[in-house]
Amino acid sequence: MNQDFRYLIEDFCRQCGMDNPNRVLDGGTLIVNQVDFSLVHNEKLNPAAVIIYGDLGEFPPGCGATPYLNLLEANMGVDGEPVYALSYDTGRGVLTDRYPLNRKSASEQLREVLVHLAAKIVEWRKARVATGAQPGSASRGLPGLQASSLHPARSPKPILNGAISSGAPSIRQSADSSLIAARPMDERVTQLIQAFCTLAAPPDPALVVLGESVTVDGIMFWLTCKEQQGSPLLRVRCDFGELPGERLADACKTLLTMNWYLYNGIDPAFSICPKSARVLFEKSYSLETLTPNILHRTLTELAAKVGEWRLVHFLEPLPASRKYRPEWAKQQ
């Protein structure tokens, strides 16, 4: 186990008057103002961060696609903000966030982060119950019961005034380019995009460097710069296309569940653009191992995944006869 993570959690438990830090270290549930959280550190997922999972609550039967659309819309354009997902294990809504992990990580600040996230989750619950907000409205909310835990078999413990306790262990467009915020481009990212353009051959490589889209196998991508703890990353945003006309709720739940798996403390993964109602996917890549050829291959593979989404929306296995074929392959 990472020693910085162990020290942070042990100090955090001392600050909160909790006598069993091992339960929290093993993924046990913390309850903050009637909201359940789990703190997880995964060296492979993100060695520099603790991933926080907060329980949004259950979705009542018959709620339709609206609450899931709300969560996906809320993920659009976030940068360093919490990301909404759906637990594969329980089907409950989850708010995911990260807390930087290093030798200077302060347990007091972690406590403040959890209290802030708990307030955000409570706000979502109340807004939905009070207003019944629809997707795209100023006040978005989530229908649901008061949360019990990420593990539904356990009963909650009462917490008051930001106090924290431990519970039982839990399981863990075309997109609108105007919504992509311009950001100063790191020189290494600029050089990578320029070299990539010699392979992808867009009509105007200079515009790609400025944040305009580039097409790979018929799929639109945007390449921009993002910083994570002072290190530049290449951020790739991809237009997955339209939502299905049928089984809309199932498709949205699938995307949110993939967010639960994919979230590493950096990217929102899947979101929906409120302006165009198209599905977007976002992922950031380290520059240490990324070359123009690897980037081109990565986008080609991602374009194939987009093709699968547009055929079956990840709701059923894709038969070999329906495997997505990019435009260049169809012409051969």
pLDDT tens per residue, range 61-88 = 788 899 899 899 988 877 767 899 999 8
pLDDT of 222 higher than 90:
yes
How much is the mean pLDDT over the chain?
Answer: 77
pLDDT of 139 higher than 80:
no
SS3 274: coil
Q: Angle at Cα 50 formed by Cα 47 and Cα 53, nearest 5°?
A: 135
Q: Where in the chain is the domain with CATH 3.30.1460.10?
A: 3-169, 177-330
Place of tokens 């909310």: 141
Distance between CA 101 and CA 304 in Å, rounded? 35
The DSSP call for residue 20 is -
pLDDT at 38: 93
- Determine contact, residues 126/91, Cβ cutoff 8 Å: no
Q: How confident is the model over 267-290, as pLDDT tens digits?
A: 768 999 988 999 999 998 988 889
Q: Which residues contact 272 (CB under 8 A, 6 or more apart)?
A: 69, 72, 73, 75, 76, 243, 278, 279, 280
- Determine contact, residues 168/28, Cβ cutoff 8 Å: yes
- Determine contact, residues 86/93, Cβ cutoff 8 Å: yes
The DSSP call for residue 322 is G
Q: How many CA atoms lie within 13 A of 164 on its CB side?
A: 28
Domain 3-169 annotated CATH 3.40.50.2020: no
Backbone angles phi, psi at 296, to 5 degrees: -65, -40
pLDDT at 320: 52
- Determine contact, residues 172/89, Cβ cutoff 8 Å: yes
State mean pLDDT over 216-232.
86
Overall CATH class of domain 177-330: alpha beta
Distance between CA 172 and CA 284 in Å, rounded? 24
pLDDT at 204: 86
Token pair recorded at residue 149: 């835990």
Cross-strand pairs, 29: 38
Q: How confident is the model over 96-137, as pLDDT tens digits?
A: 999 988 877 788 899 999 999 999 999 888 876 544 443 333
Q: Angle at Cα 317 formed by Cα 316 and Cα 318, nearest 5°?
A: 115
The DSSP call for residue 177 is G
Q: E-strand spans in 186-313?
A: 214-216, 219-228, 231-242, 269-272, 278-286
Q: Which residues contact 133 (CB under 8 A, 6 or more apart)?
A: 70, 127, 139, 140, 141
Token pair recorded at residue 156: 């909650």
Closest C-alpha to 176, from 277, 68, 281:
277
Q: What is the largest CA-CA distance in the chain?
A: 68
Least confident segment among 77-81, 207-211, 323-327:
323-327
Which helix H or strand E contains 35, and what residues bound it?
A: strand 35-40
| Amino acid at residue number 63 | C
